[in-house]
A = this chain, B = another copy of it.
């Protein structure tokens, strides 16, 4: 692991790091905020993962997410992975919604994507190992959140890994790739045309197939341009009701899909996770 930058912020340190990933076969960049409590000898602090949305790198939430104040106060490590492998040798698509910047947190099975787009394994196996080895992290206390495609990632990863995460929340998540154009393009490309294979990466299908979480917090902007066609929180709501999952879905009047929305409710999410992590 190589350090790209370290900046003091809110009494802790915002770092950016890179490492050679075996999962993706590329260099991967990620950001970690260490709160001031990390400097105490022997510190082992809880972790909040944040998975970003389409087009984003680690940097978007790091610059605009406004998570550091609450993490510094509560003593939470905040981790921001990239959304896909990068590099000249990595295959790409002309669009913003497939290929680089759009890994969808799946392990691709279809050529040419399968060579590098192993983001599920990267996020759930490889990067946690890097974090455990290099930071004062208590891997028994992890929670996860994300935005849009990253909300989909947070929900599906939590549903597929029972017991790993103390809590899961999302900002304007893609509720069901099986039921939206973004999902059809990306999962069709990464996993092939047989939609049976997509069910392992669809929060609604996972719940239908028996996966459970005790509770989920979701904030959704009511003025989000992607709400009706792509995000469809009503599908998550119906699935959670049927399965007895306590979903708190907050429709936020006037808010759109941007970081102006995310940053407005980030503090709430950090504190909600903090109450379950600390």
Contact of A223 among B8, B66, B68 (CB under 8 A): B8
Does residue A69 face the partner (Cβ distance < 8 Å to B)? yes
Q: Using Cβ atoms and an 8 Å threshold, which residues of chain B touch A69?
A: 66, 267
Does residue A255 face the partner (Cβ distance < 8 Å to B)? yes
Closest B residue, CB atoms, query A221: B8
Contact B68 A7 (CB under 8 A): no
Does residue A18 face the partner (Cβ distance < 8 Å to B)? no
Contact of A256 among B7, B11, B66, B261 (CB under 8 A): B7
Closest B residue, CB atoms, query A8: B254
A interface residues, tally (CB under 8 Å):
23
Closest B residue, CB atoms, query A10: B264
Does residue A115 face the partner (Cβ distance < 8 Å to B)? no
Does residue A263 face the partner (Cβ distance < 8 Å to B)? yes
Does residue A14 face the partner (Cβ distance < 8 Å to B)? yes
Contact B14 A260 (CB under 8 A): yes
Give Cα A223 to B8, complex, Å: 9
Does residue A248 face the partner (Cβ distance < 8 Å to B)? no
Q: Using Cβ atoms and an 8 Å threshold, which residues of chain B touch A11?
A: 264
Contact A255 B63 (CB under 8 A): no
Give Cα A10 to B10, complex, Å: 20
Contact of A258 among B7, B10, B260, B261 (CB under 8 A): B7
Closest B residue, CB atoms, query A66: B66
Give Cα A162 to B154, complex, Å: 54
Contact B64 A63 (CB under 8 A): yes
Contact of A8 among B7, B10, B261, B267 (CB under 8 A): B261
Q: Using Cβ atoms and an 8 Å threshold, which residues of chain B touch A261?
A: 7-9
Q: How far does the Cβ of A262 sit from chain B's closest Cβ, in whole Å?
A: 10
Q: Using Cβ atoms and an 8 Å threshold, which residues of chain B touch A263?
A: 9-10, 66, 68
Contact A8 B260 (CB under 8 A): yes
* Interface hits, A240-261 → B, CB 8 Å: 254-256, 258-261
Give Cα A139 to B74, complex, Å: 39
Contact B9 A264 (CB under 8 A): yes
Across the A-B interface, the 10 shortest Cβ-Cβ residue pairs: A9-B260, A7-B260, A8-B254, A10-B264, A8-B255, A66-B66, A63-B64, A9-B264, A14-B260, A7-B258
Which residues of A are in contact with B by a Cβ distance under 8 Å? 7-11, 14, 63-64, 66, 68-69, 221, 223, 254-256, 258-261, 263-264, 267
Query: What are 24 contact pairs spanning A and B, CB under 8 A?
Result: A7-B256, A7-B258, A8-B223, A8-B254, A8-B255, A8-B256, A8-B261, A8-B264, A9-B260, A9-B261, A9-B264, A10-B263, A10-B264, A11-B264, A14-B260, A63-B63, A63-B64, A63-B259, A64-B64, A66-B66, A66-B263, A68-B263, A68-B264, A69-B267
